[in-house]
Amino acid sequence: MNILIIYAHPDYDSFTHQVLTFFTKGLRESSHTFEISDLYQMDFQTDLSPQEYKRESTTNTKLPIPSDVQLEHQKINRADCICFIYPVWWSDCPAKLKGWFDRVWTAGFAYSKDDQARGMQTISKGLVICPAGHPMSHLVETGVAESMRKIMLEDRLGSRFERKEMLILDNTLEGDEVKQLHLEKIYQVGLNIGSNFSTH
C-alpha cells in the first residue's frame, strides 16, 4: 500500500512530530511505501491567488492550475491511503492545512458539477490523526469532537474516500504517560494499516 501523509506542524520538537515518527515507523516495519507532504517544511502557499480564486469561483477548468498544486494532485493519485496528521488548534486544523484544501481541492480534480468527471481517483482509505490538549469528555460536551468529524470527514474528505476515520489523541496536556500510550497506539496503526483499517 502507498500512503500519502499530509503533515502540518511547524515544530519538529512537538508531540505531533512524535506521532508522525511513530506512525511512519509502523509503516516501514510493515513494508508499506509512503511519501510526506510536510506543509511547513515545504513552505506551502496557503492563500489562493486572484487567478486561482477566479478559477474556483467560476469552476472554469480551462484556467491553469499552479505547478505546486499539480504536484500534490500527482501525489494524491499515487496513493491508496491518505493520512492527515495535525494538531487541534482552536477546534480545527492549522491554517496551513486549511489552505492546502483551499488550493488543492480544485474544480475538475476534487469536485465538479458532474462528480463522475473529477480527475481525483477515489481513495480507498482516509485517516485523520490529530493530537488535542483537552480530554475527550470536554471535546464531546462542547461539541468540538463532532464538529471536527463533520467538517473533516464529511465535508473535506467526503465522497472522495471509500472509508474514513478520525483519531483524536486527547488529553495530551496531562503529560508523558498519556502521550506514550498514544504513541504506542499510533505505531500499531501504522503497522496494521494494510490488514485492518479500524483503529479502535
Enter the CATH code of domain 2-192: 3.40.50.360
Locus of grid cell 496513493: 79
Please list the residues that pair with 2 across neighbouring strands.
33
User: What residue segments make up the domains of the chain, in order of their start?
Assistant: 2-192
Contact indicator for 193, 155 with CB cutoff of 8 Å: no
Separation between Cα atoms, residue 138 and residue 144, nearest integer Å: 8
Burial 82-102 (b: 16+ CB within 10 A, else e): bbbbbbbeeebbbebbbbbbb
Separation between Cα atoms, residue 123 and residue 78, nearest integer Å: 10
Report the pLDDT value the prediction gives residue 151, as an integer from 0 to 100. Answer: 97
Report the pLDDT value the prediction gives residue 117, as an integer from 0 to 100. Answer: 63
Report the pLDDT value the prediction gives residue 200, as an integer from 0 to 100. Answer: 44
Separation between Cα atoms, residue 74 and residue 60, nearest integer Å: 20
- 10-residue mean pLDDT series, the chain (200 residues): 97 97 97 97 97 95 96 97 98 97 96 77 96 97 97 96 97 95 97 69
Separation between Cα atoms, residue 134 and residue 101, nearest integer Å: 25
What count of other Cβ atoms lies within 10 Å of the Cβ of residue 43? 10
Separation between Cα atoms, residue 53 and residue 49, nearest integer Å: 6
